[in-house]
Structure 1
C-alpha cells in the first residue's frame, strides 16, 4: 500500500503503559471493553461516542486501534475508494511544504514515548516524516501547518502502520480541513466562537476578557491539543472524544478550560490583555480530562453552535458545518473533502478581492468623493438637457420661493 511501516511491539506502548490500562482486574472496565468491541463490530458511532465521553474514554491503545478508524469512517471499502494504493507515494511529485515538515519532525517526540534509544528515536522520526509526506503527496491540495506533526505523532503511536495514512488523510480532509487551507482565516473564524460561548454561559467572564482576542486558543484548537498536552495517555484519551464528537466540540473544550480558570483570570486586571493572553495560551496542569469532557459536553448542549452569533460567519464549506456530527463525517469521502476545500478556497479569494477593493476605496476616499460628485453633476446635466421643461419648472419654483 505504500503507507508508513508499522512499528514493532517494542516501539509502541503496551496495555499497561501510560496510554493503556489493565482492564482485567476491574469488572466495570471489563464490561466497558466488551461494549467498545461490540460498538466497533457493528460500527456504532453513537455508542462509541457515549463510551468515549464516559470516564476513561476508550481505555487502551488496543481498543483505540479498532475504534478510531470506525470513528473516522474508515472501512476496507472506504480505504480502496479514498486512496489509490497502486502508486508508491515516493514516486509522486514532491509537495511544496516538505521542507517545513522536516523542520518540525526534527523537533518531534520531546515528551513521549520515553526511554527511547537514539536509534529508536531516529526511526520514529523517519516514520513520522514518511506518514506526513505520504498524506501530502497523495492529497496535494492540503496545505501543511505547523503543529500538524503533533497530531500525526499521536496517530503514529496509536495505530498500526497500514491504518495510519488513510486515517490521517480522512482526519485532514474531513475534520481539520479548515486548518489545511492556504489561509488561517477559517481557523480564526472558529476562535471567534469562544467569546460568544463565554458571553452566553458566563457574561461576567466574557466582559472581563472582552479586550483580549481569542488567539490564545489557536495552538490548542489547531493541533487538537496535541501540542500542549505532554503525556500520551492524556492526549489519546482526549482524542477519543474529539474523534467521536463533531469538529466544533474542540472549541467548546477550550471555552470550558477558560471558564474553569475563572478565579485565576479575575485576579488579573481586565486592562492587561497581554497578561490575560499569556495565562490563557498555556493549558493548566494537570487537566482533569474526564471532568473537562463532561463539562464541555454540557456547555455544548446548553449553548449549541447555531445559537452563537459568530456561527453565521462560518463558511458553509467549513468542517464545522459539513461535518456537523461524526456520523455525517464517516459517510463522506476524501474526495468530498477536496470539493469542500476548493469551495472554501474560492470563498477566501473572493473575500480577499473584496477586502482589497474596500481598502483601495478607503485609501482614495477623497478622490472617490470628488469622482462621485463629478459623476452626479454630469448625469444631472445630461438629464436636464434631455428634459428642458423640467429646468423651466424648477427655475419657476425657485423664483417663487425666493420672493416670498
Structure 2
C-alpha cells in the first residue's frame, strides 16, 4: 500500500519513527509535574527510549519551533498546535505535552482545580472496582519509582477516575479506562488531567463516551468499521479474516485504551495520544485497520484459523513503525469516510445477527434433543424399576393356592396350542 505524506503541503520534513527523544534537562520527580518517563532507564516491562548524546537535527528544529510557540502561546492558534501534535515526531517530550495536551481539547487553567482526597470518594459504588484495576496497572508506572511515590500515584489515579464518574453519573466505568487515565496523569499531573479526561469522556464528540454506556454494543458497532476499511484496501486480507471468523475482539483492548494497555513502549503510547487528541473520534479504528494491513503478510501466511489469527493479531510487535502507520491511517480515513461505510457496516452486522440466530437455533434444537433423550432414558429406567418392584412384590403376596391355579391355567393354554404332546401317542 502506498503511503502519502500528509504534511508535504505544509513543508513538514520530520522523519521520526516513533522514537521521541527525551528533553536534555533532568527533572526531579513530582506527582503534580510528572518526570518525563523517557528519561528513566531502569529496566521494567515497559521499554523506554535511551538517552542519546546526538539528537536528530530535524527533531532539534521542531523542538525549537515548539519552544517558540510555548514562549508566545497567545500568538498560536489551535491549527498550529494540532499540526505540531500530528506531524512526524509528535510533541517530542512530556514537558511539552504537559502544556499542549490540555490546549488541544480546550482545557483552561481555571478548570485545573485541586483534587479531593481519596477518603472523600471511597463510598462511591465503583470504588472497589477502580481500586482493583489501578492495582493491576503497575507496569504503566515509572520503573524504579519509590514505594511511597507509587502508592501516592495510585491514589491520584483512583481519585482522577472517581472524580470523572461522580461529575458525570450517566457514564459507566469500564475496565481499561484506567489505562487512558494513567497516561494523562503521568503526562499532565492530577490537576490538568481531570478536565482533560472529562473532555474525552463526556460530550457528543467525546471519543471515550461510547465505551461508557450500559452495554458494549455502541463500542462493538464502532469497531466494526475496521473490517470494511480493511476490505476496501486489501480484499485478500479481509477474506482471510472473514473465513477464519476472527471478528474484531482482538482489537478491543486497543480501542478501549487507545493502545495504552497493549503497547510496551511508552514513547509509542504518548505519540499516538498526540495524534488522537486532535483527530476525529473514530480515528483510532482506522489506526487499528492500518496495523492489520501493515501485518497483512503475516495474516496471509498464518493458518486460517480463528484461534491462530486472534493470537497473532492481539500481540502487537514492539517495532511497529507508528509514523508510517499514522500516515496510512490518515489516508484510509480520507478515502473511506465513516458515513460512506455505514451501509457496509449495517450489512456486516445483519450477517452477524443471522449467524448468531442460526447458532442459537442450533443450540436450542440440540438442547431439546438432549432433553428428549434424557426423558426416554428416564422412562426406560422407570419401566425397569417397575419390573424389579413387581418381582420383589410377587413372593410376598402370592399364596401356594394362587401359584397352583396359575400353573394350571398356564398348562391349559400350553396344551391348547400343542395338543399333540398329549394325544398323538
Same fold? TM cut 0.5: yes
| Partner residue, 1:293 | 326
Q: How does 1:163-174 map to 2 (within 5 A)?
A: 163-173=192-202, 174=206
2:286 pairs, out of 241, 252, 257, with 252
Post-superposition Cα deviations, 1:162-216, rounded to whole Å, max 9, x if no partner, equal: 2121111111112210001111000100111011101111111111111221111
| Comparing 134-143 and 54-63, the one that deviates more | 134-143
Show the counterpart of 1:13: 36
Task: Show the counterpart of 1:117.
Answer: 146
Distance 2:299 2:72 in 1: 41
Q: CA deviation at 1:45?
A: 2.7
Tell whether the 8 Å contact from 2:121 to 2:159 is kept in structure 1 after alignment: no
Contact 1:221 1:251 in 2 (8 A): yes
Over residues 10-45 of structure 1, what are the superposed CA-to-partner deviations in whole Å (9 max), with x where a residue is unaligned?
x52278555899999844233432465379545633
Task: Tell me the CA shift for residue 275 of structure 1.
Answer: 1.1
Q: Select 2:315's aligned residue among 264, 276, 282.
A: 282
- Give me the whole-angstrom Cα distance separating, in 1, the residues matched to 2:298 and 2:115: 55
Residue of structure 2 aligned with 1:206, choices 238, 257, 268? 238
Q: Which residue number in structure 2 is paired with residue 377 of structure 1?
A: none
CA distance 1:208–1:58, change in 2 (3 Å): same
- Trace 1:41-56 onto structure 2 (pairs within 5 A): 41-42=74-75, 44-56=77-89
- Give the number of the structure with larger relative contact order, counting CA–CA contacts within 8 Å between residues 6 or more apart: 1
The two structures have a TM-score, normalised by structure 2, of 0.65
Q: How many equivalent residue pairs?
A: 308
Matched, 1:74 2:103: no
Q: What is the alpha-carbon distance in structure 1 between the residues aligned to residue 107 and residue 61 of structure 2?
A: 29
SS at match of 2:194: helix
Question: Which of 296, 302, 308 pairs up with 1:268?
Answer: 302
Alignment check: 8 A CA contact 2:264 2:318 kept: no
Closer/same/farther in 2, CA of residues 196 and 312 from structure 1, 3 Å limit = closer
Deviates more, 1:94-103 or 1:141-150: 94-103
Go from structure 1 to structure 2 and tell me whether the alpha carbon gap of 1:108 and 1:92 turns closer, same or farther (over 3 Å shift): closer
Which has the greater radius of gyration? 2
Residue 218 of structure 2 corresponds to 186
Aligned match of 1:32: 65
Q: Could you tell me how far 1:87 is from its partner in structure 2?
A: 8.7
SS in 2 for 1:265: helix
Kept in 1: contact 2:115–2:159 (CA 8 A): no
Q: Deviations over 1:101-120 (max 9, x none)?
A: 01111112314411112222
Change (3 A) 1:128 1:302: same
Are the structure 2 counterparts of residues 268 and 59 from structure 1 closer, same or farther at C-alpha, using a change threshold of 3 Å? same
Confirm whether residue 222 of structure 1 aligns to residue 251 of structure 2.
Answer: no
Partner deviation per Cα, 1:285-337 (whole Å, 9 max, x = no partner): 22222111111111211222122135875xxxxxxxxxxxxxxxxxxxxxxxx
Return 297-306 or 151-160, whichever deviates more: 297-306
- In 1, the alpha carbon distance for the partners of 2:325 and 2:284 equals 11
Matched, 1:150 2:200: no
Distance 1:90 1:112, change over 3 A: closer
> CA, structure 1 residues 92+107, in 2 after alignment: closer, same or farther (shift >3 Å)?
closer
Contact 1:220 1:226 survives alignment (8 Å): yes
Q: Do the aligned residues in 1 keep the contact of 2:115 with 2:191 (CA within 8 Å)?
A: no
Distance apart, 1:253 and its partner CA: 0.3
Structure 2 counterpart SS, 1:110 = helix
CA distance in 1, matches of 2:72, 2:345: 35
Change (3 A) 1:25 1:54: closer
Q: Tell me what 2:136 maps to.
A: 107
- The question of whether the paired residues in 2 share the 8 Å contact of 1:90 and 1:134 is answered with no
Matched with 2:13 is none
RMSD: 3.3
Answering whether residue 261 of structure 2 is matched by residue 237 of structure 1, we say: no
* SS in structure 2 at match of 1:141: coil
**Conservation of the 8 A alpha-carbon contact between 1:147 and 1:223:** yes
Other structure's SS at 1:68 match: helix
